Amino acid sequence: MPFLGQDWRSPGWRWVKTEDGWKRCEPFSPALEDGNNQLNDISHTVILTGDDEDEEIYGTEDCEFAAKKMKKDHFRNNTDSQCFYREKWIYVHKESTKERHGYCTLGEAFNRLDFSSAIQDIRRFNYVVKLLQLIAKSQLTSLSGAAQKNYFNILDKIVQKVMEDQYNPRLIKDLLQDLSSTLCILIRGVGKSVLVGNINIWICRLETILLWQQQLKNLQMNKQVNNGLTLSDLPLHMLNNILYRFSDGWDIITLGQVTPTLYMLSEDRQLWKKLCQYHFAEKQFCRHLIPSEKGHIDWKLMYFALQKYYPIKEQYGDTLHFCRHCSILFWKDTGHPCTASDPNTCLMPVSPQHFIDLFKF
């Protein structure tokens, strides 16, 4: 809930959700307070050496400006600055008001919603990757310097997570492919399109992306030694039930490459028919009927053909939510200090594309 302080010009109190409700917390964490104390101690011990090699010790008043500047540099250069905010929500406003000056930006949203930690949550990983992929396709030219820095820091952490855990490398490969393609077009058309920042910085970033792509290409999956029950030991009806749980055709094809039995189950016409019916309306796939040699409908080919023409349904374990009453964007499990009588009626799930639209001005 914004602006609960007595002065309307203040940034308001910070609140934490507990079992007993929302409670007010201190503005800074103990770790940051310790950092402030260390920086404050510098003002008493600053030593400057002149040309005459005489040491001159300045007092608190003389070093006040230098200490403030060092504090700013400390927080600006701190790689953990994205965890500065305890609350994981942001007030979305698109114009200046008496209470708020300016408007929220995409770079600020990266920090306040803590995307760096979100990628460590398996429920949010796909959501964040999809969001970065949409930004790579259409919003790179509009990113500010701070947003660019946050974007590539998050991207670097995603790549490192995939390299360490081998989790969903296909998804990050698609992201890097879209990002490299967009950057190649923008760099070649320098002078015709607007890229915030020096062109040499973007060239270095493109080289880094190409290096990541090569590392993912050479990625070797770790073989897990397990003497217990394996996937191949499950009955056919259980394996078939697992395949019916997938919502992505490429995941079905990948699983079908594990064993001959899974390949046979992954080629089931009924499986691909259910997948088409889940993602697309009947009018849509009736326009693109693809008969097989035996005269039956080839539902597998239809799925990939329809995927080119129509967007498929997106599924995520956890998504951002928007409160229409408070105009606050937040992760659902962390919540926000809502003032509505019935907060659940004000919540609206936010897709990755909707998230980008919220920050278009």
What is the 3-state secondary structure of 264-332?
A: HHHCCHHHHHHHHHHHCCHHHHHCCCCECCCCCECHHHHHHHHHHHCCCCCCCCCCEEEECCCCEEEEC
Indicate the residue among 199, 218, 237 that finishes a domain: 218
Contact (CB, 8 A) for 231 and 265: no
Helix segments in the chain, DSSP class H: 30-42, 64-77, 106-112, 115-118, 122-138, 145-165, 169-188, 199-217, 236-243, 249-256, 260-266, 269-279, 282-286, 299-309, 352-358
Residues 120 and 208 in one domain: yes
Query: What letter represents residue 303's amino acid?
Result: Y
199-217 vs 169-188: helix crossing angle, rounded to 10: 150
Backbone torsion region of residue 128, taken as left when φ is above 0, otherwise alpha when ψ lies between -120 and 50, otherwise beta: alpha
pLDDT per residue rounded down to tens, the chain (361 residues): 454 444 444 556 677 778 777 777 755 444 444 544 554 444 444 334 444 444 444 444 444 555 555 555 554 544 444 444 567 788 887 665 655 555 577 778 888 888 888 888 888 888 899 999 998 888 888 888 888 888 999 999 999 998 888 888 888 999 999 999 888 888 776 555 567 777 888 888 889 999 999 988 888 766 665 666 777 788 888 988 988 888 888 889 988 888 889 999 999 989 988 888 888 887 777 776 766 666 678 888 888 888 888 877 777 888 888 888 888 888 887 778 887 888 888 888 888 888 888 877 5
**Does residue 33 sit within a domain?**
no
Task: For 8-20, give the DSSP string.
Answer: TTS---EEEEETT
Residues 129 and 153 in one domain: yes
| Domain span holding position 265 | 259-313
Q: How far is it, in rounded angstroms, from Cα 26 to Cα 85?
A: 11
Strands 89-91 and 328-331: antiparallel
CA angle 231, 237, 238 (to 5 degrees): 40
**Does residue 305 sit within a domain?**
yes
Residues 209 and 142 in one domain: yes
Indicate the residue among 218, 239, 268 that finishes a domain: 218
Burial of 177 (0-12, 13-18, 19+ CB in 10 A): middle
Residues 150 and 109 in one domain: yes
**Does residue 171 sit within a domain?**
yes
**Does residue 166 sit within a domain?**
yes
**Does residue 184 sit within a domain?**
yes
Residues 306 and 341 in one domain: no
Q: What is this structure's pTM?
A: 0.64
**Does residue 31 sit within a domain?**
no
Indicate the residue among 192, 218, 244 that finishes a domain: 218
- Reported as type and span, the H/E element at residue 57 is strand 55-57
Residues 196 and 284 in one domain: no
What pLDDT sits at residue 56? 44
Residues 299 and 324 in one domain: no
Residues 298 and 329 in one domain: no
Residues 214 and 111 in one domain: yes
**Does residue 98 sit within a domain?**
no
Print burial letters for 85-110: b (CB count within 10 Å at least 16), e (below 16).
eebbbbbbeeeeeeeeeeebbbbbbb
Q: How far is it, in rounded angstroms, from Cα 142 to Cα 197?
A: 11
Residues 128 and 206 in one domain: yes
What pLDDT sits at residue 62? 46
Burial of 174 (0-12, 13-18, 19+ CB in 10 A): middle
What pLDDT sits at residue 156? 93
Residues 187 and 269 in one domain: no
Q: State how many domains the chain has.
A: 3
What pLDDT sits at residue 82? 42
Q: How far is it, in rounded angstroms, from Cα 168 to Cα 176?
A: 13
What pLDDT sits at residue 152? 92
Residues 184 and 127 in one domain: yes
